[in-house]
Amino acid sequence: MISATGVGWKVGGAQILHDVSLTVGTGELLGIIGPNGAGKSSLVNILSGVTRPSSGRITVQDRDVTRSSATARARMGLARSFQTSALFDGLTAGENVRLAVQAAGPAPFSPFRAAGPASGRRVDDLLARVRMPGRGATLARDLSHGDRRKLELAMALASSPSTLLLDEPMAGVSAEDVDGLTEIIGEVRDSGVAVAMVEHHMHVVLGLADRVAVLHHGELLAVGAPAEVTSDERVQQAYLGEAL
């Protein structure tokens, strides 16, 4: 569904990514791990079109999108979440999701257009899908951190994406919410979505991912099944035996 081939990114004289190649297929979850500053978020930005790579190419469903905007890629079925929360705090959970549903709809986007009953049902479906039924009327700013991350997921799912890029969807959430988010993201993958997920919770990545890619100093150290990757000597050295 999405692939990077020989991607490099140089900014301000520093080479942040070197020759990164990876693919994520339909119904597959690729975990992207690596120490702080390894280039994980930079890679997600390049895959989603927020940043242009200095070299290499990106394809979405075999179409070259290297020069396409993030908006164009979103129309091709790509959705993403950000490492830090991106919600409208003064709106309710339901209103946040409704904006995402409307933005994903065929009509030109207008937040002032009245929401039809179909969009209301879609909002309810999305909130149920992230285990937040009945939270629709709660202001986003009053939600727990875990619920905020679930809400972001609901918003990313509003466009019915075929590819979903998640940058640390579980950062800073409670153990209970980690379990909930793990289940939800697993269900998204099982529904046939190609998922690439950056995550520091190692037990989650190793348990959930079909394949794991390890970035270190902007280079891909290893890609493979979780057990293969964790037994790789170079990977163990990169982590100094810590997280693994």
Ligand X SMILES: Nc1ncnc2c1ncn2[C@@H]1O[C@H](COP(=O)(O)OP(=O)(O)OP(=O)(O)O)[C@@H](O)[C@H]1O
Q: For binding to Mg ion (CB under 5 A), which residues are involved?
A: 40-41, 83
Which residues of this chain interact with ligand X, rule CB under 6 A? 11-12, 14, 16, 34, 36-42, 83
Smallest distance, ligand X to C-beta of residue 84, A: 10
207 binds, among ligand X, Mg ion, none (CB under 5 to 8 A by kind): none
- Give the residue with the Cβ less far from Mg ion, 147 or 199: 199
Contact 32, 213 (CB under 8 A): yes
Smallest distance, Mg ion to C-beta of residue 44, A: 8
- Give the residue with the Cβ less far from Mg ion, 34 or 94: 34
- Give the residue with the Cβ less far from ligand X, 95 or 168: 168
Smallest distance, ligand X to C-beta of residue 217, A: 9
153 binds, among Mg ion, ligand X, none (CB under 5 to 8 A by kind): none
